[in-house]
Amino acid sequence: MKFLNSAEIFPAIPIEISTSTALALTYAQRSLKCTNATAITLTIPLNTSANFPIGTDISISQYGAGSVTFAAASGVTLNSSGGKKCINGQFKMVALQKVDTDEWLLVGDLI
């Protein structure tokens, strides 16, 4: 059995996001760095549009002043404590994990 180190799980260079977008398979097991001065919405697509494996983790940080909000495509369930779906400000971080076919968990510093 091979154990992965943190560099294999989350490569050192984050993917920069500067506009609203739907999550893409290239984001799986990666870190996203949201850098815009205006609001960004990250949409979680249906499994039929982007077949992320169950257990996929994605970390997301807000580097820009623009808020980062998460939206679920129709048919996708996005669970979070208190139904919060927005990163709580600049230099804060959250994580997404796919827990079932069209179900994700959002955790971290949310408002």
pLDDT digits (tens, 9 = 90+) for 71-110: 999 999 999 999 999 999 999 999 999 999 999 999 999 9
Closest alpha carbon to 67 in 31, 41, 30, 94 = 41
Q: For residue 13, is it within any domain? A: no
Q: For residue 2, is it within any domain? A: no
Q: For residue 44, is it within any domain? A: yes
For residue 71, what are the domain limits? 20-108
Name residue, tokens 């949409």: 43
What is the strand order of the sheet 40-44 is part of? 21-22, 40-44, 68-72
What's 42's DSSP letter? E
Q: For residue 42, is it within any domain? A: yes
92-100 vs 57-62, strand pairing mode = antiparallel
Q: How many structural domains is the chain composed of?
A: 1
For 25-82, write each residue's pLDDT tens digit. 999 999 999 999 999 999 999 999 999 999 999 999 999 999 999 999 999 999 999 9
Q: For residue 14, is it within any domain? A: no
User: How far is 22 from 109, CA to CA, in rounded Å?
Assistant: 21
Predicted TM-score (pTM) of this structure: 0.89
Q: For residue 8, is it within any domain? A: no
Q: For residue 89, is it within any domain? A: yes
